[in-house]
Structure 1
Amino acid sequence: MVATAMTAVPATPRIAILGFAIESNRFAPVSGRDDFESRAYLAGESMLADARSAAPAMTPEIPAFVRRMDRRGPWTPVPILFANAESGGPVEHAFFLDTLAQFERGLRAALPVDAVYLCEHGAAITTEEQDPDGLVFQRVRAIVGPDVPVVATVDLHANVSDRMVDEVDVLISYRRNPHTDMAERGTEAADVLSSLMEGLRVAVAHVRMPVVAPPTQLLTAPGTGPYADMIHAAEAMDDPRLVNVSVVGGFAYGDTGKNGLTILVTTKGDGDYARATAHTLAEHAWRERAAFTPELMSLPRAVELARRAGVEPGTSAVLLADVADNPGGGARGNTPFLLRALIEGGVQGAILGVVTDPALAAEAHAAGEGAAIEAHFNRDETTVYSEAYTAPATVLKLHGGRGVGRRGQLAGCSFNLGPSALLQVGGVQVVVITNRHQCHEPMFFEMFGLDIAAARTVVVKSRGHFRAAFDEFFPPQHIYNVDAPGLTSPMLARFDFRNLPRPVVPLDALADWSPHARLRGQP
């Protein structure tokens, strides 16, 4: 059920905008209403006001979509609801159903509309539903009918179902990891949606590969592996038949039957060319599939590098990524393993952030700057890997936690970490926050007056998005992914997957596979 050509372009098109954006980690605690409302849960005119503000709280796609449509000429935006949360566990199903009902009520009340823009993450699950993104797409299509153009943008970590492909005209994913092109994809969505309203007919082919790669293997800088190769090969294609090529890496920790690296090719009605293009991209990645297996630095080796950086003149400063405790993938941002190892190893001149611990942040604020406290990490946390750890600390500085991003994914976007504190714990300065967030923005350190360039070791609880923001301080050869326990460990064999479509690389030995792209509307 996709839009057909329209007979006339409306002079002032009414375009509905809505979205449900969360990346769900099957193994993390359940996400609920509070997780969304603390990030972005915006309806109606408040949604449009945020999109047009100087520093939006929402992700950049919708603001960019609105700016592009404003430039294209008269139009009537119809903002319904945008719900966005930090990556977390499965969404509480009753909350999702309530959000879905708001989408439906708002969209029905807005009819007639000339088009719909859906801004999703694409890797959501709920406590009862394995494909909530597909369900949103399906309900939207059922309300607006087969002739209204619908375009969706998704994260390149989306897990794409056949239903998601079938219920929208064009599905567009990010092309950059770290995600520095979110605004570009919102702009692209506006252009494609406008073309559909002008009568563009499309053919869509997609192939899902038996590859469930850990996120560390899905970087897109040139030379970082077969996933990057596919992205850049797609961008180099110069054929007037193409509308969009999206190579969607997927999110392993979703643990769904729709997991698998997915290639979508949208053309101007040429299904054979769409299929052939998808096959070509898939075949290259399959030949290079060994690169989807991660290599990490051991914790003892990482501590030794940090120790040497702090005491040996001429040694390069290092950045250690605590990739297994990445809140951007659903982890809690509070595991103590790397912090404890650094302190016990006598590391000096290190800064570490950001540790999510509301109770410790509140204790530091109550004690005041300059106070000596016994820092009880994870005193109130009981989730897996959130082990308690206690150490003497000094409260160096306090902050309210609000700011605007400076570089990378959060550049120009507002953030709210909640009451936050900078603690001195042994030779490590630790940023403790209240609202869970991955550390992919230098301002998370700089708002305390820390000089990142002067630090000998920087530790971030982030998987890869930090690379787009901390690259001014650390070249790739001085960045190390550390092997520590956590809910986002790239070592996938450590997880009890129940729903993946096995066998899949890199978990299983799989030698024989050939692509068969599904053309929308056909088997």
Structure 2
Amino acid sequence: MKAFVASLATESNCFSPIETTRQSFHDAFYAAPGAHPDRPTLCSAPFIAARERAARGDFELVEGTAAWAEPAGPVTREGYESLRDEILDQLSSAMPVDIVLFGLHGAMMAEGYEDCEGDLLGRARRIVGADAIIGAELDPHCHLTSAMIRASDVLVAFKEVPHSDFSARAQELVDIAVRAAQGQISPAMSVLDCRTISPFLTTHTPGRALLAQVRALEHDPDIVDISVIHGFPAGDCHDVGTKVIVITDANPEKGRAVAETIGARVRALGEDRLPAMPLPAEAVRQALAMPGQPVILADRWDNPGGGVAGDSTFLVHELLGHRDVASAVGGLWDPQAVQQCRQAGKGATMRLRFGARGGDAAGTPVDETIDVTALCDDLVTPFQESTVSMGASAAIRLGAVDVVLTSKRVQTFHPNVFEAMGIPLAERKVVAVKSASHFQTAFAPVCAGIIFVDCGGPFPSDPARIRYKRIRRPIVPLDSPHTAPMVHECE
């Protein structure tokens, strides 16, 4: 057998003013055919899983391009089409193939394309024909569309939020695709639209309990795989929302029933599906009163992983109100301030304005006399099995408050963001991070507690208040649950 693998991924925030171009992919992660590193990135884990199976002799592997752009606004038409066509040309050259594997995100939008993944998968299907197996790994914060479903044989999404399982899920994708290509199973996808926008964390109840139920249902020998698609509220498109995929071995009726069981659980999650999020002043008060250190404050709505700048200053200002308390904030995106610090040099004392360059939604800039305590040409931080570059970075100190400034817009995945800049977390009472959830895997084992903070900011955090133009109605919470029953798709 022969398999082809490629990856094209980003998460498009329709309300973000930050442009995504082809260069955005090259700046974040781009690997030409055969050049993918030995470690996976969030959306390219199928490369590593496929290499492992090829090494075992399961198939001959042809690698295409892998490209990822940091989440921002929709991709330019030229950016998307050029990368799409590059991959499709590679697929055409690899023909004939038995298996096509994609690492996707699922929430990519571009000028003229509301559903980039459906477009890519549909074009791939036309190249390979009906008999080849097409499978893709998705981020659960995606938009699952009918075009994606109809063009694919196997769609699997990460189960965990934060996404600690993207490598394991890639291995499961490849395994299902191989079994299908060998005729061992006949995958049938049953998809239920829950008609709600209900993203949740699997580190907290009730999301953890829902995931446990999903795993228990997968013990049924007829059930091949189950994915819960949370949806991405900041994408203004027809298919925003939470959905369930159940893959059975040629038993779609059972798939429908299992999907309905999970869908009912999703609809019952309620407001406690996300942790409590106090405002900045209250969050800092709680952190200072909490025993032990460090206490992590998660600036959930200024997370670059959601397509926003990551430069809001609300928590910086709040901590400066307690400037005698050892604390830290990072990484805050401000290339201009980083450059000024680099020009001044380590050890310099200078007046610096930083943060909130994106407008009023990010707060007001900080104007202070600061000490430059550390500089780094390229701050590289771990993320699960992968590594991520935050670019040239600077650490500055204002009283007892340390701030890590970065030149690349990347969320704070790991304590290394601080430790590598000479800021020991064990010596800080409060540490504020720019991340919605991914920080938890690495920070939870080394902190005294975590408080998620509602700083407002540019990310559209409440779906009920988002001014959608394209979303399909009715849907909860925009509409009453009684008017928005769950719907089976592609039947």
1:144 corresponds to 2:128: yes
Q: Classify 1:479/1:393 alpha carbon distance in 2 versus 1 (closer, same or farther; 3 Å).
A: same
Q: How many residues align?
A: 488
Indicate whether 1:232 and 2:232 are aligned. Answer: no
- Structure 1 position 374 matched with structure 2 position 362: no
Contact 1:306 1:457 (8 Å CA) reproduced:
yes
SS at match of 2:34: helix
What SS does the aligned partner of 1:423 have?
strand
Change (3 A) 1:316 1:365: closer
Q: Following superposition of structure 1 onto structure 2, how do residues 7-406 of structure 1 map, counting pairs within 5 Å?
A: 13-28=1-16, 29-47=18-36, 50=37, 53=38, 55=39, 59=43, 61-73=45-57, 75-199=59-183, 200-213=185-198, 215=199, 218-221=200-203, 223-225=204-206, 227-237=207-217, 238-292=219-273, 295-308=276-289, 317-346=294-323, 348-378=325-355, 381=358, 385=362, 387-403=364-380, 405=382
Q: Secondary structure at the match of 1:472?
A: helix
What CA deviation, in whole Å up to 9, does each residue of 1:181-227 have, x standing for no partner?
000011111111110111132221111112113x5xx1113x522x4
Query: Secondary structure of the equivalent of 2:50?
Result: helix
Retained in 2: the 8 A contact 1:350–1:455?
yes
Q: Deviations over 1:291-342 (max 9, x none)?
A: 3577420122123234556xxxx56542111111000111101011211122
Distance 1:383 1:193 in 2: 48
Q: Is the 8 A contact 2:122 2:147 kept in 1?
A: yes
SS at match of 2:102: strand
In the alignment, what sits opposite 1:431? Answer: 404
Is residue 491 of structure 1 aligned with residue 431 of structure 2? no
Q: Distance in 1 between matches of 2:452 and 2:429?
A: 17
Q: TM-score, normalised by structure 1?
A: 0.88
TM-score, with length taken from structure 2 = 0.94
Same amino acid, percent of matched pairs: 28
Bigger drift between 352-361 and 67-76 goes to: 67-76
Query: Residue by residue, what CA displacement relative to the aligned partner does 1:8-62 show, whole Å, maximum 9, x if unpaired?
Result: xxxxx22111121111111112211222111212221213xx1xx3x45664613
Identify which of 416, 432, 435 aligns with 1:443.
Answer: 416
Offset of 1:506 from its aligned partner? 3.1
Residue pair 2:348, 2:372 contacting (<8 A) in 1 also? yes
Please state if 1:473 is matched with 2:446: yes
Assess if the C-alpha contact under 8 Å between 2:474 and 2:484 holds in 1.
no
| Structure 2 residue identity aligned to 1:247 | V
Cα pair 2:356 2:363 within 8 Å, conserved? no
1:288 CA displacement: 3.3
Question: Does the residue aligned with 1:158 lie in a helix, a strand or coil?
Answer: coil
Task: Tell me if the contact between 1:297 and 1:482 (Cα under 8 Å) persists in the aligned partners.
Answer: yes
Contact residue 325 and residue 489 of structure 1 kept, 8 A = no
Question: By how many angstroms is 1:464 displaced?
Answer: 0.7
Displacement of 1:98: 1.0
- The answer on whether the counterparts of 1:330 and 1:487 sit within 8 Å (CA) in structure 2 is no
- Deviation per residue, 1:101-141 (Å, 9 max, x gap): 11221111111112100110001111321101110110110
Change over 3 Å in CA distance of 1:80–1:316 after alignment to 2: closer
Q: Quick one: which amino acid aligns to residue 357 of structure 1?
A: D
Q: Which runs of 4+ in 1 moved over 6 A?
A: none
Native 8 Å contact 2:43 2:137 kept in 1: no
Distance 1:466 1:244 in 2: 27
Summarize the Cα distance change of 1:343–1:130 in structure 2 as closer, same or farther, 3 Å threshold: same
- Alignment-mate amino acid for residue 220 of structure 1: T
Give the Cα separation in 1 of the matches to 2:78 and 2:364: 31
Name the CA distance, whole Å, in 2 between partners of 1:41 and 1:30.
Answer: 18
After TM superposition, give the deviation of residue 378 of structure 1 in Å: 4.2
Q: CA, structure 1 residues 224+490, in 2 after alignment: closer, same or farther (shift >3 Å)?
A: farther
